[in-house]
Structure 1
Amino acid sequence: MAGRDEGSGAQRVLWLSTIAFTLMFAVWLMFGILGKPISKEFGLSEVQLSWIIALAVLNGSMWRLPVGIMTDRVGGRKVMTFLLLGTAVPAFLVSFANSYAMLLVLAFFVGFAGNSFTSGIAWNSTWTPRERQGFALGLFGAGNVGASVTKFIGPPIIAGTAGATYLGIVEGGWRLIPVVYAVLLVIMAAVLWFGTPSQDRMAGQGRPLAEQLVPLKQVRVWRFSLYYVAFFGAYVALAAWLPTYYMDNFDISLQSAALLTALYIFPASLLRPVGGGLSDRFGARKVMYGTFAVMLLTTGILMMPNGHLVIDHADGRTTEHLGYAIGLVPFTILVFLLGCAMGVGKAAVYKHIPEYFPDNVGSVGGLVGMLGGLGGFFLPPLFAYTKAWSGFPSSTFFVLFLLTVICAVWMHWTVVRMMHRSTPELAGHVEAPHATDVRTAAVPTT
């Protein structure tokens, strides 16, 4: 009976925390869709809009370490409920913003919702057996699909309610969406509080704070964080950036851009459980090699600018050669594949954490999530500035390509060093060693 009760509690924690995280993720990234009508109303430039998006991402990242530690100490039930209620207030107030400065402040506080990821990861890791943690944490992380919620409901609500007023105070159009989210956040807080076990599990209860922070001294933790910048920070930044990219470069409507962006968000979110399952079965490192390869291929193609070579000949003639332009369909397919790789890669990174740091998932997962999320803060302005500097919209993907190269090289270098340390006798071999060499290397030395 106790086993069934514990299993039921774990299932309730997993599913309700996932739903709550999905909602908070939708709120966190709602400015990706609201950005266009907001820019039109307030007359904002692309760079100004990028800072609204970036500030929301910043506050959704900077508290992940303390939120993870707090979850280990007081339990995910209390922390997740607090995050839901704490995000509802600024979300509601966004509807009444009347200046760019006010939008910046409220976007920052709305971003508080993004810290729910670390809380949910630490919470679920205490309720899930180790052999199933890859899948369970991947399923919870699939709440990233919340980034697509506003892509679906936003354009029709904006178009269908523009000019209307509700309850005498709430305007229609883009201003109605944050109010709807605020109400849903309060309802979800009540459902989570009363629907999950009151006797929570806390991996760090009673442990000194200094002890929880000890693993953060390891280089491995910071390496995982950089990987997570490529898989998650880039995902967040691109999810917010793509609607505007589609509209500016392919001349399509907001609704069409939102739907096409959802084709990137869905695999980048829903494949996370698949990535967790593959990591459970084959190992996280092998999975990450595959995801980095796909990311390098897709961003390598996407970063190529449209255009052609112009040659000025000695006789005064000018000729054009090697014309290149990527159409909407191939662009969307490549972005879809990029999203697939990111979704699998995100789960692979977090598969490492409970294996290496089973008693410090909150602190280690918090730091990895924080630095990964901060990548999502820096990338949107970087996209805007590199485009302004180069004149190429595709410079967005050059930034992602360069980031992926750095991560892949560091991971491979680390793997090679590990192999050389474990089998130094084989370190000098370029070709496969002879059988006698293998037998000699396999004999342990004292």
Structure 2
Amino acid sequence: MNSTKATKLDLLNVKSLPIRTFWITSIAFFLCFFAWFGIVPFMPDVVKDLGLTPSQKWNSIILAVSGTVFARLLIGKLCDKYGPRLCYSWLLVLGAIPVILLGLVQTPLQFLICRFFIGFIGASFVITQFHTSIMFAPNIVGTANATSAGWGNLGGGANRLGMPLIAAAVVAFGAAESEAWRYSMVVAGVVCFLMGLVYYNFTQDTLQGNYKDLKATGEMPVAKKDDVGFLEAIKDYRVWILFLVYAACFGIELTVYGTMDDYLQNTFQLERVTAGNIVLSFALMNIFARTLGGFFGDLFGKLKGLRGRVLFLATILAVEGIVLALFSTATGIILGITLLILFSLSVQMAEGATFSVVPFVNSKAIGSISGIVGAGGNVGAFLAAILLKSKSAIAEKAAITATEGMGAEAVQAAQSAASSAAVSSGFLLIGIIVVCVAVGVLAIKFSTATNEIVEREIEEDLEAEILTQSI
């Protein structure tokens, strides 16, 4: 077996362990995101069926994001200790339970509890990045990480199409339409469970073998030669800058897309279906946008070393913040959609660029660092959601008070205008914060020794691959 890291992303070479791992971990991540946000297309049905209040609906969104914070922090440490194979297998099997139970809930409280625990499968992102990081060489690891994450993130958009199709299928088999959302969640949970079995049986922790076997024979994988714990990782200031970076890109993407349907309707008077399709199209940009971020991270890494990766990350993050701030002021639909396209492209590229830097902060604690940085994304989403919820709630309440006694249409129009203005001001503030974080990225430094080690590793992996191909 070839025990060297892959130096290129040859997607058709499934006989290669790194490529096989790439495909399996990407599919697992896709299914986790599909199940994590699987209930979103059915929220109108859930609100009607369970009698959710607007506040409970918002809280369910916040809880789904909050649960992931704790899971990502924990799973990174577990990956360093037990390896990605066991961690992913158990996460998929156990994570399937609340997904299935969501289809059985009868009260708003049960619904909120299930959404919180379903958020734990969002930790799958950390394992995906960890597993690809230890399978691919430094010259291509950014592209591999970004592509696996981007394709996995597609699950969060594909559910808008996939879950209604599952619902239509169960109805065709005789289920009541009012119960279709329940059966759909059960199906999604069962698929996650089965994927856990696939991950256990068809992947391997490292190129050298599984952690359990290596420990039994007295060996340890290269990345574990010197055990660097979670506490060691949190002492590195660069980890916390990257924590803020991921909060400012992935966290903001989650919140912006979560509120964009209503914002497009309120601001540009679009129909709900049209607004939903626009948001879906931006989610589908993950097919290539994240990969671009990782690709350019690797490219600047080749040109300027590790500093080049940092400079590109700072630049693309600043572009994201500026574009979001400009979008917040747009009143015309053409300009608004153009800026939204640029935002979607830049925010996803920033996510890919972030994890073109992460593997180089400390190669002996990739799991812990990936977990901390990944958790930053959900913290960012949580804080941004709280900001927009509070601003919107205050504005809408004031609008209702001001239009008291008027007709229902006048009240609705006032509410929509107030919500649009409040969310717009929130986007502007968030855009400014993102630019500030981008400036802070420049503080990330790497030693000359670290740069030399990375360059030497790239040369060794390339030489090993050429030797293997010639045999």
Q: Does 1:326 align with 2:332?
A: yes
Match of 1:53 among 53, 56, 61: 61
1:258 aligns to 2:267 (yes or no)? no
Aligned counterpart for 1:399 among listed residues 423, 426, 431: 426
Which amino acid is 1:29 matched to? F
Cα deviations by residue, 1:97-125 (Å, 9 ceiling, x for unpaired): 12111110010111111001111211221
TM-score norm. by structure 2 comes to 0.76
* Residues 405 and 251 of structure 1, relative CA distance in 2, 3 Å threshold: closer
Q: Corresponding residue for 1:132?
A: 140
Q: Is the 8 A contact 1:267 1:340 kept in 2?
A: yes
1:232 deviates by 0.6
1:380-438 per-position Cα deviation (integer Å, ceiling 9, x unaligned): 2332221122333253354344334234334435638979xx9xxxxxxxxxxxxxxxx
Cα displacement (A) at 1:12: 1.2
Q: Cα offset for 1:183? A: 2.0
The 1:69/1:206 distance shift into structure 2, 3 A limit, reads farther
Q: Tell me, in whole angstroms, the C-alpha distance in 1 between the residues paired with 2:325 and 2:438.
A: 19
Structure number with greater Rg is 1
Specify which of 142, 146, 153 is matched with residue 155 of structure 2: 146
Deviation at 1:267, TM superposition (A): 2.1
User: Is structure 2 residue 369 aligned with structure 1 residue 351?
Assistant: no
> 1:269-418 residue pairs with structure 2 within 5 A?
270-282=288-300, 283-304=308-329, 325-327=331-333, 329-390=334-395, 391-412=418-439, 415=442
Match of 1:179 among 160, 182, 186: 186
Q: Which residue of 2 aligns with 1:102?
A: 110
Partner of 2:406: none
Tell me the CA shift for residue 127 of structure 1.
1.5
The gaps in structure 1 that reach 5 residues or longer are 306-324, 423-446
- Residues 298-351 of structure 1: per-residue CA shift (max 9 Å, x gap): 32233238xxxxxxxxxxxxxxxxxxx433x54333222211111100111122
Contact 1:264–1:336 (8 Å) recurs in 2:
yes
The aligned amino acid for 2:69 is S
Distance 1:54 1:162 in 2: 30
Q: Specify whether residues 180 and 326 from structure 1 end up closer, same or farther in structure 2 by C-alpha distance, changes over 3 A only.
A: farther
1:58–1:374: 8 Å Cα contact kept in structure 2? yes
Q: Find the partner of 1:196 among 193, 198, 203.
A: 203
Q: Which residue identity is paired with 2:251?
A: G
Bigger Cα displacement from structure 2, 331-340 vs 353-362: 331-340
Match of 1:440 in 2: none
Return the offset for 1:361: 1.1
Q: Aligned partner of 2:71: which letter?
A: W
Going from structure 1 to structure 2, the CA distance change for 1:236 and 1:97 (only over 3 Å counts) comes to same
| 1:231 pairs with 2:249 | yes
Deviation per residue, 1:142-174 (Å, 9 max, x gap): 1111111111123455577669854x9x96432
The alignment yields a C-alpha RMSD, in angstroms, of 3.1
Q: Deviations over 1:257-283 (max 9, x none)?
A: 432211221224631111111001123
Decide which moves more: 134-143 or 192-201: 192-201
Q: Does the 8 Å contact 1:145/1:265 carry over to 2? A: yes
Cα drift, residue 14 of structure 1: 1.1
SS of structure 2 residue aligned to 1:130:
coil
In 2, are the aligned partners of 1:292 and 1:404 still within 8 Å (CA)?
no
- In 2, the alpha carbon distance for the partners of 1:245 and 1:341 equals 20
- SS of the residue aligned with 1:393? helix
Between stretches 405-414 and 145-154, larger displacement belongs to 405-414
Instruction: Please tell me whether the aligned partners of residues 272 and 346 of structure 1 are also in contact (alpha carbons under 8 angstroms).
Output: yes
Deviation at 1:80, TM superposition (A): 0.7
User: Which residue number corresponds to residue 40 of structure 1?
Assistant: 48
2:76 maps to 1:68:
yes
* Unaligned ranges ≥5, structure 2: 7-14, 212-220, 301-307, 396-417, 449-471
Q: Aligned partners of 1:287, 1:263: CA distance in 2, in Å?
A: 26
Give percent identity, aligned residues only: 23
Q: Name the structure 2 match of 1:240.
A: 258
C-alpha deviation, 1:71, in angstroms: 0.9
Correspondence for 1:221? 239
State the secondary structure of the residue aligned to 1:342: helix
Which one-letter code corresponds to 1:54 in the other structure?
A: I
Task: Verify the 8 A CA contact 2:37 2:156 in the aligned structure 1.
Answer: yes
User: Equivalent residue of 2:140, what SS?
Assistant: helix
Task: Report the equivalent of 2:29.
Answer: 21
- Within 2, Cα distance between the matches of 1:417 and 1:205? 24
Measured against aligned partners, the alpha-carbon deviations of 1:348-378 in whole angstroms (never above 9, x if no partner) come to 1122211221111111111111122122223
- Within 2, Cα distance between the matches of 1:38 and 1:245? 21
Structure 2: distance between partners of 1:94 and 1:295: 35
- Paired position in structure 1 for 2:409: none
Alpha carbons of structure 1 residues 163 and 14: separation in structure 2 relative to 1, 3 Å: closer
Whether the aligned pair in 1 keeps the contact of 2:39 and 2:181 (CA below 8 Å) is no
Amino acid aligned to 2:99:
A
